[in-house]
Amino acid sequence: MPRFKNKPEQQVNPLQEGELDDFKNWVPPCKVCGDKSSGVHYGQRTCEGCKGFFRRVEKAKNKIQCNADGNCEINIHTRNRCQFCRFNKCIAIGMSRSAMKYGRMTKRAKDAIYQEYKNDMCANDEESGPDTPSSIDNDSSFIQSMDPHHVVTTLSNTAHAFLSIFPQKEELSSELAGDFTISWDDFLADFNCKIEKVVAFCKRLDDFKRLEELPNGQSDQIKLIANRFFFVIIINLSRTLYHDGSFLINEKRVTEWMLSTVSFSQTNVIRTLISAMTQLSSCHLTPEQLALLSAEFIFQRNNLDVHNASEIDRSAMFLKRILILSIQQSHDVDDFVIKEYLKSISDSFHHAFSTFRCFCLETLQERNSAQMLPPLLRELIDYAQTPTV
C-alpha cells in the first residue's frame, strides 16, 4: 500500500514511532475466520492460523465433533472454540489437500487476490436493498449534498464538539506511568462519568439535534446513545494507549492484569477493550478524524430498531464519506482499503461492547453481588439491544 504523505499529529503515548500501520499492511481477509490472509493455501485465501488448522485436522476429521448445533459462528474471536464447525467452513469455502500450494506468492498473485476480493465486495454492494446505507451512498440527491461548505462545516463542528468535551491530555510523568492501583469499581465509575460526556457530545451534533424534531426522535436518540456510547469511550481511551497495551483512566494506567483478584469475565472485558483500541491506534488517525469516527459510530445503527432509519443512515453515510476523504488526504490510501479497515474496526468495537454488556448483565443478575453497576451505566445497559455486527 502507498506510504503516508504527511505524518498525523502526535498523540498521547503513541505506539512506537516508525511502526507500520494497518492501512499500509492491509490485505484481503481470510475466508474462514476474517483474520489477515497470508496467501492461497489449500486452494483458498486463508490466514496462517487456518492453514495450519486445516493441515492438522484434515487427517483426524472423523474424531472431532460439535458440542452445540453444528452451526457455530467462526470468526477471528471464536475460531478456536469449535474444531468441527471451523473445519466444515474450510470445506465449504473449497479448501482441499489436492489444491495445496508451495512457495511464496508473487506480487502478481497478490494483486490478483486483492482485485478478486475488491470485485466480490463491489458485487455485494450492488445487491444491497433499497433501504440500506449502500443505496443511500449511490443516491444522486445524497451525492449532491456533499458540497464543500457543508463538508468543511461538519468537519469543524464535529471536531470542536469532540475536542471540547474530550480534550487532548498532556504527556504524563514517569512516576504516574507506573501506578496500577485503580480498582474495578473505579473503572466502572469512570465509564459512568464518560457516558455523561458522550451525551454532551451527541447533543452538539447538528444531525443528532435534528432528530428531536422528528416523530419519536427522542426515543431514537436514547436508543442510539444506549447502543453506541461504548464506542465513543473506546475512541477516547485509545488516545491514552501505551505500546505495552495499557491505557489511562483517571491518570492511572490500566492493564488486563490490573487486579490480582480480577475475575475471568473482567479480564475478558479489558482484553477485548485493549484489542479494539490497539487496532484503532495502529491507524494513527488525527484528533479530527477520531471525532468524525465517533460521530459516525453514533449514527451507525446496523440492526437497531429505530423510527427514523433513513435519516439516521444518511447522517452515518455523510460522516463516513467525510472521514474517508480526510483519511485519503492525510494517509494516501485506497478508499476501498479504508472502507474495509473501518469495517474491521467496527467489528472489533462491536465485539468489545458485546463482551462488556454480557459482563454487566451477569452482574445485574447476581442479586447478592456487592459489586453493583453505577446508575447511568446500569440504565443504558438495561435499555440497549442485543448487539450484532
Cell numbers 488448522 label which residue?
Answer: 53
> Within 58-173, where are the H helices?
83-92, 107-126, 133-137, 140-144, 148-165
C-alpha neighbours within 13 Å on the C-beta side of residue 346: 21
Q: What is the pLDDT of residue 5?
A: 41
Measure the CA–CA gap between 152 and 159, rounded to whole angstroms: 11
Measure the CA–CA gap between 366 and 273, rounded to whole angstroms: 23
Q: CA angle at residue 83 from 82 to 85, to 5 degrees?
A: 70
Q: Which domains does the chain have, with CATH numbers?
A: 39-127 (3.30.50.10), 134-383 (1.10.565.10)
Q: In which region does residue 74 sit, left (phi positive, over 0), alpha (psi from -120 to 50) or beta (all else)? A: beta
Q: What DSSP assignment string belongs to 219-281?
A: HHHHHHHHHHHHHHHHHHHHTT--TTS-EEETTEEE-TT--TT--HHHHHHHHHHHHHHHHHH
Q: Shortest CA distance to 135 belongs to which of 296, 143, 201, 92?
A: 143
Q: Tell me the sheet residues that pair with 29.
A: 36
Chain centroid offset of residue 285 CA = 14
Digit-by-digit pLDDT tens for the chain (389 residues) are: 344 344 444 344 433 444 445 666 677 888 999 888 888 888 888 999 999 999 899 888 888 989 888 888 898 878 888 999 999 999 999 888 876 665 555 667 667 777 777 776 666 655 544 445 555 555 544 444 567 777 888 889 999 999 999 987 644 444 444 455 577 888 888 889 999 999 999 999 999 999 999 999 999 999 999 999 999 999 999 998 888 778 888 777 777 655 445 677 888 888 899 889 988 988 889 999 999 999 999 999 887 889 999 999 999 999 999 999 899 888 888 888 888 889 889 989 999 999 999 888 888 887 555 457 888 888 888 777 654 44
pTM of the entire structure? 0.75
3 state SS of 39: strand
C-alpha neighbours within 13 Å on the C-beta side of residue 139: 18
Measure the CA–CA gap between 294 and 298, rounded to whole angstroms: 6
C-alpha neighbours within 13 Å on the C-beta side of residue 98: 2
Q: Are 227 and 304 in contact (CB under 8 A)?
A: yes
Count other C-beta atoms under 10 Å from residue 286's C-beta.
18
Q: Are 32 and 86 in contact (CB under 8 A)?
A: yes
